[in-house]
Amino acid sequence: MNDIAHNLAQVRDKILSAAARCGRDSEEVTLLAVSKTKPASAIEEAIAAGQRAFGENYVQEGVDKIRYFQEAGHRDLQWHFIGPLQSNKSRLVAEHFDWCHTVDRLKIATRLSEQRPADKPPLNVLIQINISDEQSKSGIPLASLDALAAEIVELPGIQLRGLMAIPAPETEYERQFAVARQMAVAFAELKTRYPTVDTLSLGMSDDMDAAIAAGSTMVRIGTAIFGARDYTKNKGN
């Protein structure tokens, strides 16, 4: 087995045991392979190993990969935009991606809705929550969620599917779980109000177990699948 296939199998195993430990069905947890900065050849290896959902952080890089794989005849891949989104890049996301995890203001949501091509299904969106309340990170505080969600569900070109967060790094399981739990409670509440809500994007390599125990339905894993990233080749697109 090559490295990426081997790594993927290991990550899937970890998801399986994390789900088993808390009595959840591992089918409830989608693995998003974060392929930012990685070449198409690495993504091809992951596809060959059965992976279909990929996450990208940089708009232009993501669009290039989406086009490449479309031209190569892949029709069943799912592309998730998971990076910070500026207004001037929203059109490319609306036109090419299937999901956007980082919606944190009405202006961006409105643009994505207006710019979504009419021949495509609505863009799936997650509202990003700034759960650790860090000045530097994007996302809205939980207190602002109800108001933004109510506005987003009125937009025809996008569909609200749930919540996403990037918690501050925390080494202790109990603390990871406490933060993940706050997200899970907000997610459960949102779900009761909007039937389209089914996705909690939470958990990376270091806090995946706690996120799954708390109720995450989508974990975002990069390095453990594709290896360390080289950022010198990729700047600011």
Closest-CA residue to 51 (of 234, 227, 207, 222): 222
Name the residue whose CB lies closest to ligand PLP.
222
Contact 203, 219 (CB under 8 A): yes
| Of the residues 34, 100, 109, 152, which one makes contact with ligand PLP according to CB under 6 A | 34
Binding segment for ligand PLP among 40-48, 137-145, 180-188, 220-228 (CB under 6 A)? Answer: 220-228
Closest-CA residue to 180 (of 147, 151, 152, 206): 206
Contact 40, 65 (CB under 8 A): yes
Joined tokens for residue 119: 């021949």
Joined tokens for residue 21: 């430990």
Q: Choose between 117 and 227: whose C-beta lies nearer to ligand PLP.
A: 227
For position 222 contacting ligand PLP by CB under 6 A, the verdict is yes
Instruction: Decide: residue 198, CB within 10 A, 0-12 exposed, 13-18 middle, 19+ buried.
Output: middle
Q: Choose between 55 and 157: whose C-beta lies nearer to ligand PLP.
A: 55
For position 166 contacting ligand PLP by CB under 6 A, the verdict is yes
User: Count of residues binding ligand PLP (CB under 6 A)?
Assistant: 12
CB of 57 to ligand PLP, least distance (A): 5
Q: What residues are paired with 55 via a beta bridge?
A: 34, 80
Q: Choose between 66 and 202: whose C-beta lies nearer to ligand PLP.
A: 202
Q: Choose between 9 and 150: whose C-beta lies nearer to ligand PLP.
A: 9
| Of the residues 57, 64, 184, 230, which one makes contact with ligand PLP according to CB under 6 A | 57
* Binding to ligand PLP in span 196-215, by CB under 6 A: 204-205
Per-residue x/- track, 61-100, ligand PLP (CB under 6 A): ---------------------x------------------
Sign of CA dihedral 175, 180, 181, 185: positive
Binding segment for ligand PLP among 43-51, 137-145, 176-184, 221-229 (CB under 6 A)? Answer: 221-229
Q: Which residues bind ligand PLP (CB under 6 A)?
A: 34, 36, 57, 82, 166, 204-205, 220-224
